[in-house]
Structures are given as structure tokens and as C-alpha cells.
Structure 1
Amino acid sequence: MAKIIGLTGGIASGKSTIAAYFQSKGAAVLSADDLARTLAEPGGELYQKYVAHFGQGILLPEGTLDRRAIGNIVFSDEQQRRWLDETSHPVLQAAMVEQIQAARQKNFPVIILDVPLLFEAGWDKMTEVSCLVFVDAAVQLERLIKRNGYTKAEALGRIAAQMPLAEKKQRADSLIDNNGSLAESYNQADKLWKEWTHAGLS
């Protein structure tokens, strides 16, 4: 039976790059972000809940959700962020369980749950092993501003909303240091892949 690995990392840590690499090696990669996007499309379960709660002001002219507007609300208001998490996580978790069951039917050697808030949302309980992709704080901030076009304040707000990196490192079973070159990161991933596909996991 496929081993279930929880892959996580701070925002802009390069987690998606590592997830794609594991996928190229034969893993099934199930992305919580992709699930959230699907469920937040017009007519989706999360879309309806968000519009009912936040109002029409979070919609773009074409009727889709303005993700940046929602982000600015929830990352500046702890109560709103708690509401978002408590509303979205059960919906996403149920959808993820369905995806895991579907992936199990296809005989993948490894099923990777790509979940940014793996520890924060308690999704690590769904996995056998957790793996953290990390970068230094300065690298993370620079990448996030460059990638998303955020102001420094917006970027810092999103980083602060996540569990501190030091705590994630303590909780993770495996680490991938993504501060160096891609080749160095892939080399670490190769070692873990060998461990996951050949060693028995208790």
C-alpha cells in the first residue's frame, strides 16, 4: 500500500518545486491549494460560504473570488482568519480523503499530500511521515515579494500567520534545506525518495 507523506513548507519556501520533483519520480501529489482553488470557483462549496460571509466586495467583476482581497482581510484580522480556517479545513479534508482513496486504487508507491498548513490544521495526522521544505527568513521574504508582488507588509503578514519555522522543524520527520541550488535540493529529495520507497515505515 502506498505510503502517505505530508509535504509542507513556509510560504515561498519552494515546496511546490519539490512536490513536482517527487511527482516526476512517480508519486501521486495531492495539493491542498489546488483543491481549495477548485472548491472556491463559482458554484463551489467554499465559494458560496465565502461570499455569504464576506459579501459581494470580495468578488472580481467577472464573478470570481478576489483572492488577494480575501487575503488582506484574513491576514489582518485574527478572528476572520480563524473563521476561514474553521470553515475551509473540514471541507478540504473531506475532499482530500476522497482523493487519497482514488490514488490508492492506482498503485502509486508514494502519495504526497502537499499542504502548506500541514501542522497548523492537524493534517499531519493523515500522514505516516512529514517532510518540511524550508528556507531562511530573509530568502522567504524576498521570494514572496518577488513572486506575488506583495508589499513588504503584506508579505510579512502572511509569513507571520504561519507556524514559526523553528516549531515546524521540530515537528517534521524529514527536512529539505532549499536555501542552496536546485541540484542540492533534488539530491536531498532523492535520498528521501529512496528511504520512502525501500524502507519499511512503522
Structure 2
Amino acid sequence: MIVGLTGQTGAGKSTVSDYLRENGVVVIDADKIAREVVETGSACIADIALEFGCEYINMDGTLNRKKMARTVFNDKEKLKKLNNLMFPYIIDSIRRELKRLREQQEGIIVLDAPTLFESGADRECDRVVSVTADVQSRKERIIRRDKLTEEEADERIQAQHDEEYYKSRSWQVLENNGSIDELKNQTSVLLSKLEAEMEAGNSSEAQQ
């Protein structure tokens, strides 16, 4: 079973992902894949340089993330252009990794992807789970986590979709407006549901 895991920045998706991994679930980290596709000499880096200019590429050939972030978080059209360049490379890598894991007959595979819907990666998933939280909680968390100013935190939040966007597209939603332990408890219940669904699916296949 392929489970897409997504959510807003600061909502607590990483806590959920870490808990699942600690409990034996295989997790594909789309953020890690996104970093790999812009490594020095990659085709994606060449595309970004052509579209945005060489000033967005560091001397060692890697992406200047800070400069790019300042640009795209203030301009939705430029963010869309960057995503349109990167998503095909990311999806291709995700598909290769999913194929490899399927061949190993892993049970539940979680695809942890902040831009699961925007990239179209949700189409690779059997179930989608979103993590949401109220704006103030998210803002406080990303200021602490990323050492941002309030203005920078607001820009990141405004660049993302609201809660309803995620809720309307998800099989399950974990609302993280409380403690980490409360979120872990929700995740434990979620894992039990997923395991039960997978077991029911396997039983159904066996009977056919």
C-alpha cells in the first residue's frame, strides 16, 4: 500500500513521518529526492539556470537555495515556474524508488511529500494523509525551526494552501493543535487503520 503523507509547513508532518519510520514503516522522503535532483551537473540544475539565470547557481554548481527561496516565496508565478521545472525529475525518481520497493514486497510505503498534490505525486498513492494545524501554531513552529522573522514566516504560510485544500483531498487528516504526544497517538491510530486496510485487501485478493 502506497500512502501519501503531506501537509502545511509547520503542521507536524515530519513528526508523523519519523514516528512511522520508527515503527517499521518504509518512508520515501520527497524532500531528499528534491535535493538530489538539483545536485551539481544535473539536468534539472541546467534547466533552472536557463530559466532563472546563473546567479541562482552557486560556484560549486549547486542551487543557491536561500536566493531562490527569497525569490519564489514572494512571487507565485516564479514558484510555479520552479515547480514545473523540478516536478518531472522528482516524480521520475519517486517512481523508480516505488518500483524498487514494490519488487521487494514491502508492506506499507509512505511517500512523505510537502507538494504531493501540486506535483501530481498523489496519483501514485492508494491513500493520502494530511497533517494540518492552525496558523498561529504553524507560525510559531517554523520561526523556531527555521530561525525566520515573523515576516518571512508569514510569506511561507501565505505561499501555501489553506486547511480545506488538504482536507478535501485526503483520506485521513491529522490535526496537530496540541502536544507532540497527542499527534503521536493520532499517528498510532492511523497506522493501525492502514494495517487493517492492507490486511483486508490481502484477504480479498486471496479469496479471488
Q: Give the TM-score normalised by the residue count of structure 1.
A: 0.91
Distance 1:163 1:126 in 2: 21
- Kept after mapping to 2: 8 A contact 1:51/1:58: yes
Which residue, 136, 151, 154 being the options, matches 1:153?
A: 151
The letter for the 1-side match of 2:37 is L
Instruction: Give the corresponding residue for 1:189.
Output: 187
Distance 2:11 2:42 in 1: 29
Runs of 4+ in 1 over 4 A off after TM superposition: none
What SS does the aligned partner of 1:120 have? helix
The letter for the 2-side match of 1:33 is D
Instruction: Give the corresponding residue for 1:173.
Output: 171
Percentage of matched positions with identical amino acids: 31
Distance 1:25 1:187 in 2: 13
The Cα shift of 1:163 comes to 1.6
Distance 1:71 1:17 in 2: 24
Distance 2:137 2:32 in 1: 25
The Cα shift of 1:61 comes to 4.9
Distance 2:61 2:93 in 1: 24
Distance 1:80 1:16 in 2: 26
Per-residue Cα deviation, 1:58-111 (whole angstroms, up to 9, x for no partner): 234544322121011112122211111111111111110001011112232101
Distance 2:10 2:41 in 1: 29
Per-residue Cα deviation, 1:5-31 (whole angstroms, up to 9, x for no partner): 010010121211211111121211111
Instruction: Give the corresponding residue for 1:55.
Output: 53
Q: Which runs of 5+ in 1 are unaligned?
A: none
1:27 equivalenced with 2:25 (yes/no): yes
- Kept after mapping to 1: 8 A contact 2:27/2:111: yes
Instruction: Give the corresponding residue for 1:15.
Output: 13
- Kept after mapping to 1: 8 A contact 2:7/2:130: yes
Distance 1:123 1:105 in 2: 19
Instruction: Give the corresponding residue for 2:98.
Output: 100
- Kept after mapping to 2: 8 A contact 1:134/1:175: yes
- Kept after mapping to 1: 8 A contact 2:130/2:170: yes
Distance 1:153 1:39 in 2: 29
Instruction: Give the corresponding residue for 2:84.
Output: 86
Distance 2:144 2:66 in 1: 15
The letter for the 2-side match of 1:123 is A
Write the mapping of 1:91-130 to structure 2, written as runs, cut at 5 A: 91-130=89-128
Per-residue Cα deviation, 1:26-60 (whole angstroms, up to 9, x for no partner): 21111111101011121123222222222232234
What SS does the aligned partner of 1:195 have? helix
Which residue, 54, 74, 77 being the options, matches 1:76?
A: 74
- Kept after mapping to 2: 8 A contact 1:26/1:108: no
Bigger Rg, which one: 2
- Kept after mapping to 2: 8 A contact 1:117/1:162: no
